[in-house]
Amino acid sequence: MSENSLAIRKFSDLANPTRFLALAGRVLPWFAGLTVLLFAIGLYLSFTTEGDYQQGETVRIMYVHVPAAWLSMMCYSVMALSALGTLVWRHPLADVAVRAAAPIGASFTFLALVTGSLWGKPMWGTWWVWDARLTSVFVLFLMYLGLIALNRAMDEPGKAAKVSAVLILVGFVNIPIIKFSVEWWNTLHQPASVLRLGGSAIDPEFLAPLLVMAVAFTMLFFTLHIAAMRNEIWRRRVTSMRRQAARSAGREV
Amino acid sequence: MMTHTAYVAASYGIAVVTVLALVLWVWTDGRARRRELQALDEAGIRRRSVQAGEAQ
């Protein structure tokens, strides 16, 4: 067998939903356990580290707000990669990944918006401003809701997969806009302070809980995403088996 | 006027509720699907690939 066809076979092995189900069953307990452990450490650090000399206690909102905001963008990026998988490779799991990720992404975006608002009121003096960062994240939230609605509105999964894949890729333009909005425009929202040229501008006292919480949220995302993908595969199997049963029942009559 | 602690408590409260709702949704969805698959299996309806495997 040539090396090339071996590589293709390995790739299609990964695309096998049955194999995915077996793998999901094996990794999910570990992922869930690790998520709980990381949240325990993260929450402990969040409430035992010192408050900020200017912001006081409200700095603790950062440990939820920033990871939720990162995850809202990462989830959309995962969906964009899956959309490529649907359109380019017709990977059978790609659309399953998109469908499972959308409600999770919408929840994280909602969390980023609400906690941002709760942080904005005491620190900026306002719950909301229509500046570039806040508006672009709000647009991301609307896109998630639109994708969920679109997927539910279309009966044929194959057609829904293609339409939402195109829409996701077009909407991906919003992700760099969110990331760089604080540099391109004059915003009330502060510019990046963790991932930036010249190193992090955050004191280690705040950086440790922030990073642990970010990893915890990331693990939470992957745990929920794999579990939701498994549910989606089961849902499709139930539908196709019912259809198959109805067809054979029709033939017997 | 809310105190700073109230803003922190509200943020963490909403985060906990959102995450728990997500976990609960995925959990109950999975249980319902598993039950449907079991009901189909008990009714003797299996996937074609499984049937082919049994015939061999």
| Interface contact B30-A230, CB threshold 8 A | yes
Query: Confidence band (pLDDT; 50, 70, 90) for A195?
Result: confident
Evaluate if residue A73 carries a pLDDT over 90.
yes
| Interface contact B26-A227, CB threshold 8 A | yes
Q: pLDDT tens digits for A16-61? A: 888 899 999 999 999 999 999 999 999 999 988 888 888 888 889 9
| Interface contact B30-A220, CB threshold 8 A | no
Q: What is the mean pLDDT of chain A?
A: 89
Give the closest of A220, A237, A244 to B19, CB-based. Answer: A220
Which helix H or strand E contains A225, and what residues bound it?
A: helix A204-252
| Interface contact A241-B7, CB threshold 8 A | no
Q: How far is A236 from chain B (nearest CA, A)?
A: 10
**What's the domain count of chain A?**
1
pLDDT for A3 equals: 64
A119 within a domain of the structure (yes/no) = yes
> What gap in Å lies between CA A40 and CA A74, rounded to an integer?
23
DSSP label at A191?
A: P
Mean pLDDT of A198-212: 85
A142 within a domain of the structure (yes/no) = yes
Evaluate if residue A212 carries a pLDDT over 60.
yes
pLDDT for A245 equals: 87
Q: How far is B24 from chain A (nearest CA, A)?
A: 10
- Report CA Rg, chain B: 22
Tell me the residue length of chain A. 253
Mean pLDDT of A108-120: 95
- 3-state helix/strand/coil string of chain B: CCCHHHHHHHHHHHHHHHHHHHHHHHHHHHHHHHHHHHHHHHCCCCCHHHHHHHHC
A243 within a domain of the structure (yes/no) = no
What are the C-alpha distances in Å from B27 to residues A93, A221, A223, B48? 20, 14, 11, 28
User: In chain A, pLDDT over 70 holds for what percent of residues?
Assistant: 93
pLDDT for A150 equals: 93
DSSP string, A28-82: HHHHHHHHHHHHHHHHHHHHHSPPBTTTBGGGGGHHHHHHHHHHHHHHHHHHHHH
> What gap in Å lies between CA A110 and CA B15, rounded to an integer?
10
CB A3 within 8 A of CB A215: no
Q: pLDDT tens digits for B8-28? A: 999 999 999 999 999 999 999
A236 within a domain of the structure (yes/no) = no
Evaluate if residue A252 carries a pLDDT over 80.
no
pLDDT for A134 equals: 92
pLDDT for A185 equals: 86
pLDDT for A16 equals: 83
What residue spans define the domains of chain B? 21-56
Closest residue in B to A67 (Cα) is B15
Q: Report angle CA A168, A84, A137 to the nearest 5 degrees.
A: 30
Evaluate if residue B52 carries a pLDDT over 90.
no
